[in-house]
Amino acid sequence: MLKDMELLQFPDERLRRVSQPVEKFDEDLKLLSKEMLKIMYQSMGIGLAAPQVNKPIRLIVLDVSETRNKPMTFVNPNLEKVEGIVDSSEGCLSVPEIRTTVQRHKKILLSAQNIDGSEIKIEADDLLSICVQHEIDHLDGKLFIDYVSSVKLQRLRKKIAKQKKLTTEKPKGTTVKIV
Ligand code: ZN
């Protein structure tokens, strides 16, 4: 792991910082995105934002493919257009064990730069759209639980505490986490 790299977890205030735009597209940036992808794959996540590893810059990595071999890196991502509403069941590596439904835009038009700094524009829907929105939120210091009422959040936490007491076994199957 790179120096200073740690996976920050709620309620760490550093997750609430607004990340700075990337201006230098150098080797360090490439190295950071590689390390982030490694952490994301190891954690079975489908996305990770730089501020989650204590690097408050506007860089996100994701892979929403079933084969887990289509990594994507977006630098300075920006939603140009959004359309529709969809329910999305989400979790986050920075908010362990909480999983809940939030509303996202169904479709997005994303503009960003790739790791070399060239401009890209992508239309996305489904999982890619949702994942990009979740990760861009991280860049703005927002977490998915911010969309949930505090009452519901408390209920979720209680439920999790209860489940932990009832069983120490891990659930069967693989859960794909949006991190
Ligand atoms: Zn997250």
pLDDT in tens, 138-169: 999 999 999 988 888 888 888 777 777 775 55
Domain locations along the chain: 13-168
The residues annotated with a catalytic role in the active site are 135
> Is 176's pLDDT higher than 70?
no
Predicted confidence (pLDDT) per residue in 3-18, tens digit: 678 899 999 999 999 9
- 167: CA distance to ligand 1 center in Å? 26
Beta bridge partners of 163: none
Predicted confidence (pLDDT) per residue in 27-58, tens digit: 999 999 999 999 999 999 999 999 999 999 99
Count of beta carbons in the 10 Å neighbourhood of residue 70: 10
- 75: CA distance to ligand 1 center in Å? 17
- 25: CA distance to ligand 1 center in Å? 24
Distance CA 12, CA 152 (A): 21
Assign domain 13-168 to a CATH class: alpha beta
For residue 11, whether the previous peptide bond is cis, meaning omega lies within 30 degrees of 0, is: yes
Distance CA 22, CA 25 (A): 7
Alpha helices, DSSP H only, in 2-95?
Answer: 27-42
- 48: CA distance to ligand 1 center in Å? 7
